[in-house]
């Protein structure tokens, strides 16, 4: 089997890359180790930057998103019993953010790929990448039909943080930058709509709390918990009780309760590898970098990577140029580090750290007070949250 670009992983990065390459006349094959059903149900991100939405719509993958997504102008910072709404759209000169679940993007992208005759192998096992430093890299995997060797010109490693692409690069060829946070997030998806329009971020002595409306009928809540917390210790009643305490307002806010449709605990990590390339393997999305979800950036960054990679690969096929491919890693890393900083900053400001003393808590409160009282400080948060403009034109 042969293709131009072999893609490992059918998450947002791999699927969107395949779609953008197709629009530019470049052929690709996706190899995914989970079932289609599994990846179409996996609950993860929900907050999309303006640029992510624009790219999905312009590329023809945003029809349902345009109809169903919730466009939001502001967020609320909640602390000291008070609500502080920041109008991000006004602060950022007209850019908004959009709520549309990651699994819906995955469904939409699989739909457009299948409609265009795209090749995707789900439930592949023993996936491996080989010959990365040659001009003939290969993806080997096993399907129901037996062992397959996919010969490629290039491989895109879009297989997330736990995938096989990054670990296939020889030790010493990559530099790793990492920070693991001493807490996790317990997330629930609830079958009930909250009246609040804004995404709410709460600072509280007992730890961080969050919720936003995911759709006209669903709400997503997060609570900071210990990193090794056992989810069995969190029956519904305890979750609701904790949300009531951490998100309490002087005017008597109460969560809108409903059946809990899913629950999980996520670790919190910042992680970057440099460079995002080895030979003919290009890493994109969570395979190359992770941010704690406080800034709502991981999926957006995955989209930003493939927005650079697709035209770089297409430029190679159109005219043999390699300068865009050579610049890929440096181009992406500029945005990656901006987003790493923003995500670390939001996380540090809003969470309770085990070794925090009273001094540290006062500093956090001062920072929050400053954001909700200074237009300059609020603008910094706003323009990062809705997403800084792309700095490179898509060639
Ligand atoms: P993904 O989505 O992990 O997709 C990787 C795909 O590769 C497959 N795979 C393999 N395939 C073949 N062979 C192997 N050996 C393989 N190993 C893995 C996997 O099955 C999967 O299908 O990576 P990608 O495409 O880079 O996308 C990244 C995003 O998924 C991630 O950054 C976001 O979910 C992060 N995130 C958020 N990002 C946002 O932009 N906005 C948000 O509001 C937001 N909220 C969140 C989040 C992540 C969270 N968790 C669960 C980590 C909230 C949470 C709680």
Q: What is the pLDDT of residues 299-325, one digit of tens each?
A: 999 999 999 999 999 999 999 999 999
Per-residue b or e along 332-343, where b marks 16 or more CB atoms closer than 10 Å to that residue's CB: bbebbeebbebb
Q: Decide whether any atom of ligand 1 lies within 6 Å of the 34 Cβ.
A: yes
The response to whether residue 13 sits with its C-beta less than 6 Å from ligand 1 reads yes
- pLDDT tens for 322-346 read 999 999 999 999 999 999 999 999 9
Q: Is the pTM of this model over 0.85?
A: yes
Confirm or reject: Cβ of 53 under 6 Å from ligand 1: no
Q: 289 C-alpha to center of ligand 1: Å?
A: 11
Residue 33 Cα to ligand 1 midpoint, Å, equals 13
Taking alpha carbons only, the member of 306, 377, 300, 296 closest to residue 342 is: 296
Q: What share of the chain is helix, strand, coil (3-state, %, to 5)?
A: 40, 30, 35
19: left (phi over 0), alpha (psi -120 to 50) or beta: alpha
| C-beta of 311 in contact with ligand 1 (< 6 A) | no
Length of the chain in residues, anyone? 395
| Cα distance between residue 74 and residue 386, in whole Å | 10
Beta bridge partners of 115: none
d(CA 312, CA 17): 11
Q: Give the residue, out of 8, 9, 38, with the most ligand 1 atoms within 8 A of its beta carbon, to mutate for a pocket test.
A: 9
Judged by DSSP in three states, 86 sits in: strand
Rounded Cα gap, residues 335 and 37, in angstroms = 32
Nearest residue by C-alpha to atom 17 in ligand 1: 163
CA–CA distance, 30 with 158 (Å, rounded to integer): 10
Cβ–ligand 1 contact at 343 (below 6 Å): no
Ligand 1 pocket, residue 10 CB under 6 Å: yes
In 10 A of CB 369, how many CB atoms?
A: 15
Tens digit of pLDDT for each residue in 106-161?
999 999 999 999 999 999 999 999 999 999 999 999 999 899 999 999 999 999 99
- Does ligand 1 come within 6 angstroms of the Cβ of 157? no
């Amino acid at each position: 089997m042969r293709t131009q670009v072999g893609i490992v992983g059918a998450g947002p990065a791999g699927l969107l890359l395949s779609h953008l390459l197709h629009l530019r006349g470049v052929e690709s094959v996706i190899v995914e180790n989970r079932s289609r059903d599994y990846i179409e149900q996996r609950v993860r991100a929900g907050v999309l930057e303006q640029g992510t939405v624009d790219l999905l719509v312009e590329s023809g993958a945003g029809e349902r998103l345009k109809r169903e997504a919730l466009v939001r102008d502001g967020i609320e910072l909640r602390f000291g019993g008070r609500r502080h709404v920041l109008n991000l759209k006004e602060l950022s000169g007209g850019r908004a953010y959009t709520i549309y679940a990651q699994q819906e993007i995955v469904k939409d992208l699989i739909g457009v790929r299948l409609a265009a005759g795209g090749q995707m192998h789900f439930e592949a096992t023993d996936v491996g990448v080989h010959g990365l430093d040659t001009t003939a890299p290969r993806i080997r995997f096993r399907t129901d039909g037996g062992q397959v060797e996919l010969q490629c010109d290039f491989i895109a490693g879009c297989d997330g943080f736990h995938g096989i692409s990054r670990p296939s690069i020889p030790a010493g060829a990559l530099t790793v930058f990492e920070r693991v946070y001493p807490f996790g997030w317990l997330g629930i998806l609830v079958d009930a709509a909250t009246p609040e329009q804004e995404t709410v971020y709460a600072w509280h002595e007992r730890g961080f709390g969050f919720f936003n409306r995911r759709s006209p009928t669903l709400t997503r809540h997060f609570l900071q918990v210990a990193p090794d917390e056992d989810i069995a210790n969190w029956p519904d009643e305890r979750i609701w009780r904790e949300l009531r305490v951490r998100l309490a307002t002087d005017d008597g806010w109460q969560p809108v309760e409903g059946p809990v449709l899913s629950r999980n605990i996520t670790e919190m990590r910042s992680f970057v590898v440099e460079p995002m390339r080895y030979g003919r393997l290009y890493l994109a999305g969570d395979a190359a970098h992770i941010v704690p979800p406080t800034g709502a950036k991981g999926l957006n960054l995955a989209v930003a990577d493939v927005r650079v990679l697709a035209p770089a690969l297409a430029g190679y096929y159109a005219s043999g140029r390699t300068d865009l491919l050579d610049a890929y890693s440096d181009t992406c890393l500029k945005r990656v580090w901006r987003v790493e900083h923003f995500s670390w900053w939001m996380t540090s400001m809003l969470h309770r750290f085990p070794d925090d003393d009273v001094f540290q808590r006062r500093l956090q409160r001062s920072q929050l007070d400053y954001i909700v009282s200074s237009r300059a400080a609020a603008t910094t948060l706003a323009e990062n949250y809705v997403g800084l403009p792309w700095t490179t034109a898509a060639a």
